[in-house]
Chains A and B, each alone.
Chain A
Amino acid sequence: DAGVTQSPTHLIKTRGQHVTLRCSPISGHKSVSWYQQVLGQGPQFIFQYYEKEERGRGNFPDRFSARQFPNYSSELNVNALLLGDSALYLCASSFRGGPSYEQYFGPGTRLTVT
């Protein structure tokens, strides 16, 4: 079975632009979580969606938004990009609704904001 997939793998954007990152969960998984990993830090929780509903939100500004589609894939949108948004964005899927436990991570999207 295919694991969690994310697209694109790399992205370069300019300050002020917006970006959309995509994630497809493992087949049968209904929960998707998004994490931001800045260089030298651990992943930091951004959002969790389960059955197309937001179940959790981390301490991120409103420039960050996400949604989950009927096929359980998900998008993360970031508006008005700042240099500090440069990071690896990780998507994780799980079968159960909680964002904890047995999360399977994708390879991430490396976003560079210049």
Chain B
Amino acid sequence: DQQVKQNSPSLSVQEGRISILNCDYTNSMFDYFLWYKKYPAEGPTFLISISSIKDKNEDGRFTVFLNKSAKHLSLHIVPSQPGDSAVYFCAASNPGNTPLVFGKGTRLSVIA
């Protein structure tokens, strides 16, 4: 049973527009959420995170929103750039010494 779900396998966006990647989770014990970006032939790279005590975290062009009641988080990229084209993974963890649980990923293509 998937605890972290990314229901959109792929997303295509025009350069300069907003990219919105979505993630849903089922485990209400998750208290920390992360987004990773992965280019081909490279390992995932940490992008941005959010604690469950917050509902928004911003880092430059990247903003993550958390809606705990809906068990939903989203990653906004504004403005989108061709270099943002990659697979984006949502991940979550429980309190304490627990492993990251990843979603299946969403492939973002930013078209120039």
* Chain A interface residues (CB < 8 Å from chain B): 4, 33, 40-45, 48, 55-56, 58, 90, 92, 97-108
Contact = CB atoms under 8 A, between A and B. Distances in A.
A42 B98 contact: no
Contact of A107 (B41, B93, B100, B105): B41
A98 B99 CA distance: 8
B100 A100 contact: yes
A19 B43 CA distance: 20
Interface in B76-112: 89, 91, 93, 96-105
Interface string B6-47: 100000000000000000000000001000100001111110
Nearest to A44: B102
Interface of B: 4, 6, 32, 36, 41-46, 49, 89, 91, 93, 96-105
B32 A100 contact: yes
A100 B43 contact: no
Given A99-B97, A100-B93, A90 B102 contact: no
